[in-house]
Amino acid sequence: MPRLVMKFGGTSVANIERIRNVARHVERERAAGADIAVVVSAMAGKTNELVGWCDEAAKNCDRREYDAVISSGEQVTAGLLAIVLQGMGIPARSWQGWQIPILTSNAHGTARIEHVADAAILEGFSKRGEVAVIAGFQGLCKETGRIATLGRGGSDTSAVAVAAAVGADRCDIYTDVDGVYTTDPRIVPKARRLDRVAFEEMLEMASLGAKVLHVRSVEFAMIHKVKTFVRSSFDDPANPRQGTLICDEEDIVESQIVTGIAFSRDEAQITLRQVADHPGVAAAIFMPLAEAGVNVDMIIQVASEDSGTTDMTFTVSAADFDRTRAILEKVKSQIGFESLHGATDVVKISAIGVGMRSHPGVAARAFKALAEKGINIRAITTSEIKFSVLIEAAYTELAVRTLHSLYGLDKA
């Protein structure tokens, strides 16, 4: 009997009527003969409300208690969906992460899944024909014996991990869009839904600003070879569209040079002027940031042969901007820089595609096209299947549209 994991996000379960709609999607797949596990998020807005309550109760509260509170939203949704399914005559049972159990690391609030036990779910399939309705975003920390949450978007990761554990034929991620697009349709109306995207491409797109899938869920799917569909929960349950398949590169018959254009507004630029140019200076800058959990992205170093100094520019998330400046000012004497400059009015634009591996000059064409539009590039990073540029935020839409057209993504 085929096995299927279906995941539904917050907007898909925002109220009882939408939960009934979710149940009809489950009913369709069950009628087709599949054993089904459903992973659900909290109702739209509920997690934000719970986080707000924690902040109101105490700033910098115990992360274990924080997880106990914010994981409750998924528990409510799982129970409600099980009730609705039972009312439709479909055997169903809700599960919390610790009951399965889904075992996680000790990083409360940002835990990583380490193991998913499959026995309880498979027993429900074989003995009772039962739909397993699982609270996403959470698991059981092995060290503390407490509920641990996986970070925002963690229900996607829960779903893919469950799919890998039970040997599911596929994992369907239902959201409020009908698939993965070449870029944000709100910026480029001609953006197209992609039929298939390689795991590597989706991983880059997710990490570079595309909000369709959680980064760790794509990592999990790629490692465990879980075929994953992105689909819309708002399609007619009786006749839904297929969505976009995330799969191995070899499963894509013909790939474009560039698959999509992603952008991230959550960027801040830091420049250290006249840094002493000697061995160990980069470590002196970036080790304190790493120890504070600040993720550094683009790095540019410009050395001066005459003065023995260098300018160092790099980017961090906008949320880490003030903290990064404070950390660097604290260790200024060890680093030996003259001044620190920062900017938050920047955006990172990225082009992604496995076809870049075999086509030289892809990035050069973009640099020329942006220059012709009067867009100045502040920083550049490249990898085998993507390149990113940092530009002024005011040029975001123009840059995205320019690159989308440049690589023929407007064309059907």
Tell me if 64 is assigned to some domain.
yes
- Integer Cα distance of 210 and 185 in angstroms: 12
Tell me if 15 is assigned to some domain.
yes
Tell me if 336 is assigned to some domain.
yes
Tell me if 63 is assigned to some domain.
yes
| pLDDT given for residue 412 in this prediction | 62
Contact between 275 and 331 under an 8 Å Cβ cutoff? The reply is no
Number of domains in the chain: 2
pLDDT of residue 303 exceeding 80 = no
Report the residue count for the chain. Answer: 412
> Same domain, yes or no, for 28 and 156?
yes
> Same domain, yes or no, for 169 and 63?
yes
- Integer Cα distance of 32 and 250 in angstroms: 28
Q: What is the pLDDT of residues 359-406, one digit of tens each?
A: 889 999 999 999 999 999 999 988 889 999 999 999 999 999 999 999
Q: What is the pLDDT of residues 119-154, one digit of tens each?
A: 999 999 999 999 999 999 999 998 889 999 998 889
Tell me if 155 is assigned to some domain.
yes
Among the three residues 343, 360, 388, which one is the final residue of a domain in this structure?
343
Tell me if 325 is assigned to some domain.
yes
Range of the domain at 119: 3-176
Annotated binding site: 7-10, 47, 74, 175-176, 181, 186, 211-212
| pLDDT given for residue 238 in this prediction | 92
pTM: 0.86
Annotated binding site for ATP: 7-10, 175-176, 181, 186, 211-212
Annotated binding site for substrate: 47, 74
The arithmetic mean of pLDDT across residues 202-213, rounded, is 83
- Integer Cα distance of 101 and 262 in angstroms: 36
The arithmetic mean of pLDDT across residues 84-92, rounded, is 98
Contact between 44 and 12 under an 8 Å Cβ cutoff? The reply is no
Among the three residues 160, 176, 192, which one is the final residue of a domain in this structure?
176
pLDDT of residue 72 exceeding 70 = yes
Among the three residues 176, 206, 241, which one is the final residue of a domain in this structure?
176
CATH code of the domain covering residue 303: 3.30.70.260
Handedness of CA 204, 205, 208, 212 (dihedral sign): negative
Tell me if 405 is assigned to some domain.
no
Q: What is the pLDDT of residues 321-341, one digit of tens each?
A: 999 999 999 989 888 888 999
Tell me if 222 is assigned to some domain.
no
CATH code of the domain covering residue 26: 3.40.1160.10
**For the chain, how many helices (H) and strands (E)?**
13, 20
